[in-house]
Amino acid sequence: MSYSDKIIDHFQNPRNVGSMDKNQKNVGTGIVGAPECGDVMKLQIMVDDQERIVDAKFKTFGCGSAIASSSLATEWVKGRTLDEAMELKNTDIVKELALPPVKIHCSVLAEDAVRAAIADVKNKVRATGSAKKTVTTA
Amino acid sequence: MRSVYLDNNATTPVDPRVLEAMLPFFKENFGNAASRNHRFGWVADQAVEKAREQVAQVVGATGKEIVWTSGSTEGNNLAIQGVAGMYADKGKHLITCRIEHKAVIDPFKYLESKGYEVTWLEPDPKGRVSVDQVRAAMRPDTILVSMMFANNEIGTINPIAEIGALCKERDVLFHTDATQAFGKVLIDVEAMGVDLLSMSGHKIYGPKGVGALYVRRRKPRVRLQPLLHGGGHERGMRSGTLNVPGIVGLGTAAEIALQDMPKESVRIGRLRDRLWAGLSEHLTDIHRNGDPEHSLPNTLNVSFLYVEGESLMMGFSDIAVSSGSACTSASLEPSYVLKGLGLGDDIAHSSIRFSLGRFTTEEEIDYTIDQVVKCVNHLRKMSPLFEMVQEGVDLSTVEWQRH
C-alpha cells in the first residue's frame, strides 16, 4: 500500500506532538483505542475563557495513517471553539489525507479523541463551575 | 544507499547463475520432458532428472522420491490431502500446530470440514512443539503428523528428528513443511524420519512458481491421492506438463545452496547477531521473538515495545522488512503466529521481521541498525504508551476504550 504525500508529511513532521498537564482545569484529555488493537491516541486541548481552543497536543501509538490523522486533527481544532470543534468529521480527515478504506478507522479514532477531549474539558468546567462562560454551552 | 532488502523469508531474488542455467530451456531446449520419442524431449527430460538429483541431495533423499510441484502451497496440500485421502480407512485423526503456515493450516481446516479430526498443538512461547506434546496427542487412528521444520515469521526450528523417530515408532506418517529451512540448514530425511517434505524454489534464489515434495519410497512406501488428475506425470501423484525451466532453476539453486551452506550459514548468522547486538545496544524495551537456541541463521524477529510495526516500516521505507502488525487487514488482527506464542497482541503489533539473505552485506546491516534506532526513537517520542510507562503506569492495569 502506498501513502499519500500528506500522510507522509504528517508522519515525518508531525504537528503538535507533546503533552499538557492533564490536571489543569482548562485542559481536556481524550485517550482512545487500545494497545492490543494496534492504535492508542491521546489528544489534548487547552481552552481559554471563551471556550476557544488555544492549543492542542497529541501522542499516538499506531500506524502512519493514525499518526497523520491525529496530527491533522490537532491542527484543525486549534482556534476553534469547543462547539465548532465538535463539528470535525472523520470524513474530512479521510478526504484531506486520502486515506484508503482500510485506514478509515484511523480517522474515526481521531474524531473520537477530539470528542473525548472536549467532553473532558467541559466536565471539568462544570464540576468546578469556575469558567465564567459555562452558561453559553448549556 | 540503495534499498536494503531484508525480507528474504518472503522471497529471494533469482541468483544470476540460476537464471543462466534456466535460459536455454526457454529457448532452444524448449521440449516437453514427457516427449519420449525425439531429441527435444530427451534433452528436457535429462535436465529434469539432473535437477531431481540436485534437489534430493539437499535433503538426503534419492531423485526418485522428488515430486515436482508449483511451490510449497501445492506441496503441503498434496502431502496433507493426499495422505488423508489415501489412508482414510486406517484412521481420520491428524496432528499439526497452530503456528504453521496458512498453506498447512487451511488444508487441515478443509479436512475438518470433511469429517477428519485435527489436534492443533500449541507451541511454547518460543515457538517450538515438543515431542512429548506430539506423543500425548497420538491416538490409534492417527495417520499423519505435520510440523513445520522452521517457522517463517520467527525462524524457530522444531525438534524434527525427535518427532520423526516417534512417528516411525508409532507407524504414523510424518510431513514437514521445510520451505524456510530448505537450503539453509542441514536436512536429512533418513536420519530425521521424515516421510514427506515440502520445498520451494523462490526462497533459495530460484524462480517462483516451482517447488518439490519429497515422498518417501521405502520404509514405508508413501502413497498419495493426487490433487491433479491427468497425464499421470510424477508417478501419478501430480499430473501436468513439467515446468522445465523452473525445475532447472530450482535444481541449480538447490545445488548452490548446498555447496554454500557451511560458510553461508555462518556468515549470515554473524550478520543477524550483529543486527540484534546493534539494536539491543542502542534501544531499551525491545524483545526478541523466537528461540535463539533453535533458529534459522537468517531470521530475526523483534518487538519494539510501545511503537507500532507498520509505522516503523513507514519510517524506514528504504529498508524492506515485514511486520506482525496487520493494521491494513480488515480484521485488524495481528500475526496469528506471534499471538500463538501467547505473548499478547501488543507484542505482535510492535514486531518487525528481518530476514537476511545471500546478498545482505555488513554495510547494509549497520545502515539498518542506524535507521531503525532513529525511527524507534522518533516514534517513541510520540507514543502515549511510552510516555505512560515512563511515568510509571502499568499498561496492563489501564482500562482502554476498545473499538
Please write the tens of the pLDDT for every residue from B339-372: 999 888 888 999 999 999 999 999 999 999 999 9
Give residues 318 to 337 of B whose Cβ lies within 8 Å of A.
325-330, 332, 334
Residue A86 resides in a domain: yes
At B281 the pLDDT is: 98
How far apart, in whole angstroms, are the C-alpha atoms of residue B147 and residue B349?
26
Q: Residue A133 domain-assigned?
A: no
Residue A33: helix, strand or coil by DSSP? strand
Q: Does residue A135 form part of some domain?
A: no
Report the CATH number at residue A107.
3.90.1010.10
In sequence order, the 6+-apart residues with CB closer than 8 A to the CB of B30 are B40, B44, B244
- Catalogue all structural domains in chain B, each as residue range(s) with its CATH number: 16-257 (3.40.640.10), 261-397 (3.90.1150.10)
Residue A81, domain extent: 5-124
CA distance B246 to B252: 10
Give the residue from A6, A11, A37, A90 with the most B CB atoms within 10 Å of its CB, the best one to mutate: A37
Place of cell 523462490: B202
Per-residue pLDDT, A137: 40
User: Are B332 and A33 a contacting pair at CB < 8 A?
Assistant: no
Q: Which of A33, A59, A63 sits opposite B383 (nearest CB)?
A: A59
- Say what percent of chain B tops pLDDT 70: 98
Integer angstrom CA distances of residue B389 from A58, B125, B366, B396: 17, 24, 29, 11
Structural contact between residues B196 and B214, judged by C-beta atoms closer than 8 angstroms: yes
Nearest to A3 by CA among A74, A93, A97: A97
> Which residues of A are marked as active site?
37, 106
Domain-embedded: residue A39: yes
Amino acid identity, position B345: D
Q: First and final CA of chain B: distance in angstroms? A: 41
Helix (H, G, I), strand (E, B) or coil at A52: strand
| Number of alpha carbons in the 13 Å side-chain half-sphere of residue A69 | 35
Q: Where residue B1 falls among pLDDT bands split at 50, 70, 90?
A: low
pLDDT confidence of residue A135: 41
Q: From CA B272, how far away is CA B365, in angstroms rounded? A: 8
CB-CB: which of B311, B315, B385 is closest to A40? B385
Is the CB of A102 less than 8 angstroms away from the CB of B308? Answer: no
The pLDDT value recorded for residue A136 is 40
Class of residue B32 by CB neighbours under 10 A (exposed 0-12, middle 13-18, buried 19+): middle
Instruction: Assess if residue A129 is contained within a domain.
Output: no
In whole angstroms, give the CA distance from residue B212 to residue B210. Answer: 7
For chain A, what is the domain count?
Answer: 1
Stated as kind and residue range, the H or E segment containing A119 is helix A104-128
Establish if A132 belongs to a structural domain.
no
Mutate to test the interface with B, among A61, A70, A103 (most CBs of B within 10 A): A61
* pLDDT of amino acid A112: 96
Distance, CA of A61 to CA of B307 (rounded, Å)? 6
ipTM of the complex: 0.89
Contacts of A116 in chain B (CB under 8 A): 401
Mean pLDDT by 10 residues, chain A (138 residues): 88 95 95 91 95 97 95 96 95 94 93 97 80 43
Residue A65: inside a domain, yes or no? Answer: yes
Is B327 a known active-site residue?
yes
Domain annotation covers residue A137: no
Residue B285 near chain A (CB below 8 Å): no
Task: Write out pLDDT tens, residues B286-338.
Answer: 999 999 999 999 999 999 999 999 999 999 989 999 988 765 455 567 889 99
Question: How many whole angstroms separate alpha carbon B323 and alpha carbon A95?
Answer: 27
Distances (CA, A) of B63 to A68, A132, B214, B283, B384: 56, 88, 9, 49, 58
Residue A8 sits at the vertex; the CA angle it makes with A86 and B303, to the nearest 5 degrees, is 95
